[in-house]
Amino acid sequence: WTFLRPDPRDLAYRSAADSSQPALSATAPIRSWKELLEEPGVRLALVSTGLGQMVMVGLMVLMPLHAKHVGHEESATGLISVHMLGMFAFGWLTGRLVDTWGRRTVIQLGAAQLMLAGFVATFATRPLEMGFSLFMLGLGWNFLSVAGTTLLTDHLRPHERARIQGGAELVTWLSAATGALGGGLIVGAFGFPVVGWVGLALGCVPFIATLFLNARTREVTE
């Protein structure tokens, strides 16, 4: 328990109390999704968490089948273990990086890791290559998930968070279902390497979106 972060609920209350923005009534209207999506930061947060989940699930569920197909069926359990290591072993560090380096920087790092995972998956035929791809896939998902959800929370008022974050979770898990179904269809039609190329391409989206948002922010401040 020594190394656990404070309860997110307590942090939310503290953030609201320390905010320099005017106090808002708990009965103030909750903004619609249309209003929220007008904010670039909200769009970036949803794209990061949604595509991160989509690529992660698509590659995760298909890599063990690919391993079996190329004659490494005995490695399937180890591959998933390495993937889980990437997903969760560094969770204690990711939050600190988000606070220290900033949400957008960590999103870029996560997107780069996702792209690397997809690229390696295109030629992975040995357990070492497949394991490296899955580890980077898990780590990239971790970075995108933590940074993306934190960025979304930054743009929400305290009384909006339960409802809006629930909607964001729906988007995330629909993305996961799309990744699993779409990945299977792609493998059936074109083969496993194409799944890697698609993962690489989708990983580019939050990376490029962050570059555009950073450029826009600089223009506003100059």
pLDDT for res 190: 96
Q: Based on the structure, what is the number of domains in the chain?
A: 1
Note whether residue 100 is domain-resident.
Answer: yes
Contacts of 43 (CB under 8 A, 6+ apart): 37, 209
171, 100 Cβ separation under 8 angstroms: no
Contacts of 80 (CB under 8 A, 6+ apart): 60, 64, 134
Rounded CA separation 183/195 (Å): 6
What's the average pLDDT block by block, 10 residues per block, for the chain (222 residues)? Answer: 52 53 59 90 96 96 93 90 95 94 96 98 95 97 96 91 90 95 95 97 96 80 53
Rounded CA separation 125/75 (Å): 12
Q: Which tokens hold the place of 159?
A: 């009384």
pLDDT for res 20: 46
Q: Which of 89, 79, 86 is nearest to 129 (CA)?
A: 79
Note whether residue 135 is domain-resident.
Answer: yes
Note whether residue 150 is domain-resident.
Answer: yes
Rounded CA separation 49/12 (Å): 20
Note whether residue 18 is domain-resident.
Answer: no
Range of the domain at 187: 33-213
Q: Which of 54, 67, 60 is nearest to 82 (CA)?
A: 60
Note whether residue 220 is domain-resident.
Answer: no
**CB contact burial 6-33 (16+ within 10 A = b; e otherwise):** eeeeeeeeeeeeeeeeeeeeeeeebbee
Note whether residue 7 is domain-resident.
Answer: no
Note whether residue 13 is domain-resident.
Answer: no
Q: Which of 185, 190, 91 is nearest to 141 (CA)?
A: 91
31, 144 Cβ separation under 8 angstroms: no
pLDDT for res 169: 93
> What CATH number does residue 163 fall under?
1.20.1250.20
Give the DSSP letter of residue 126: S
Other C-beta atoms closer than 10 Å to the C-beta of 216 total 11
Note whether residue 88 is domain-resident.
Answer: yes
Residue with tokens 């899955």: 134
